[in-house]
Chain A
Amino acid sequence: EAQVTQNPRYLITVTGKKLTVTCSQNMNHEYMSWYRQDPGLGLRQIYYSMNVEVTDKGDVPEGYKVSRKEKRNFPLILESPSPNQTSLYFCASSTLGGPGSYEQYFGPGTRLTVT
């Protein structure tokens, strides 16, 4: 079954404690992306990657890091989380360009609370 998985699904942490949210896809997609969703602000892109070792900033990259060492994995790293990073996070993947890129697959979401 084609899917994007995220872990953990729920996380409560404290300010400054480094954390990683993992994302993995089983569709051999080149493109992967992270979004955050906040009430009234919709989904905003944090980072994206067009292939292994190729990453770039989205609209709201401050406070986040990513890496793409393998095609299937795209972890989101919060080196020093702050309360304003409390949000619902989604990972997404798709093929890159062309007709096949029209459908992006989203993970189930990670609800992060930073106290």
Chain B
Amino acid sequence: DAKTTQPTSMDCAEGRAANLPCNHSTISGNEYVYWYRQIHSQGPQYIIHGLKNNETNEMASLIITEDRKSSTLILPHATLRDTAVYYCIVRIVSFGNEKLTFGTGTRLTIIP
């Protein structure tokens, strides 16, 4: 699985859009970008994933650059409950060990 690089921490004002970047310059053609988050020692929670097109669901949007070497997770209207560690993960989808390799993530703090 390709390595990812994320900022250690970020702050965002409540109600504003939170934009979390991720660099994955060594990503290969069959690797997906996934985002999970972990709220204070709870189990990680899936947010969104994508291959090359931008994706949106009820939680967030995922913007992947055309060369796929980086991506941005967007929480459109951040709330205090979005304070968490956000993990960007790159991996292939295959019929085998579905292991997720969590890096250190970005600690996002939403400020009232």
Residues of A within 8 A of B (CB): 4, 31, 33, 42-43, 45, 48, 50, 56, 58-59, 88, 90, 92, 94, 96-99, 101-109, 111
Contacts and interface: CB of A to CB of B under 8 A. Distances in A.
Chain B contact surface mostly: loop
Q: In terms of DSSP, what is the predominant structure of the interface of chain A?
A: strand
Interface residues of B, number: 20
27 contacts: A4-B43, A43-B44, A45-B99, A48-B97, A48-B99, A56-B97, A88-B41, A92-B43, A94-B98, A96-B98, A97-B94, A97-B96, A98-B93, A98-B95, A101-B93, A101-B98, A102-B32, A102-B34, A102-B46, A102-B93, A103-B46, A104-B44, A105-B46, A106-B43, A107-B43, A108-B43, A109-B43
A5 to B, nearest CB: 11
Give 8 nearest A-B pairs by CB, closest first.
Answer: A106-B43, A97-B95, A103-B46, A43-B102, A102-B49, A42-B102, A45-B99, A106-B44
A107 B42 CA distance: 8
A94 B100 CA distance: 11
B45 interface: yes
Centre residue among A43, A90, A109 by max chain B CB count within 10 A: A43
B25 interface: no
Interface of B: 32, 34, 41-46, 49, 93-100, 102-104
Contacts of A103: 46, 49
Contacts of A42: 102-104
